[in-house]
Amino acid sequence: YPGEEGRDNFYRRVTESIWQVMDDHPGETVAIVSHGGPIALFTQVVLGLPYRRPMPFGVNNCSLNVIDAPDGVPGRD
């Protein structure tokens, strides 16, 4: 879309933000409230899937998604 941040910036913003929350809360369970796009993106990263659009799966509105992303996750740089 015209004026959007771009795929690479979106990927970096989402993943860096979530990894930072995890780093700030080691061993804790945290809740992150978000739109479906960032949730689907981060799920792809944790599963070791390449980032692609359209996303290979959707995230429903008002859904609860539990992602266990321990250290050593393939997508963590």
pLDDT digits (tens, 9 = 90+) for 59-69: 888 899 998 87
Helix orientation angle between 36-46 and 7-24, rounded to the nearest 10 degrees: 70
Widest CA span in the chain: 40
Higher pLDDT among residues 29 and 1, named by residue: 29
Sign of the four-CA dihedral 28, 72, 11, 20: positive
* Calpha distance 56→41 (Å, rounded): 10
Give the tens place of pLDDT for each residue, 14-58: 999 999 998 899 888 899 999 999 999 999 998 888 888 888 888
CB–CB of 15/49 below 8 Å?
Answer: no
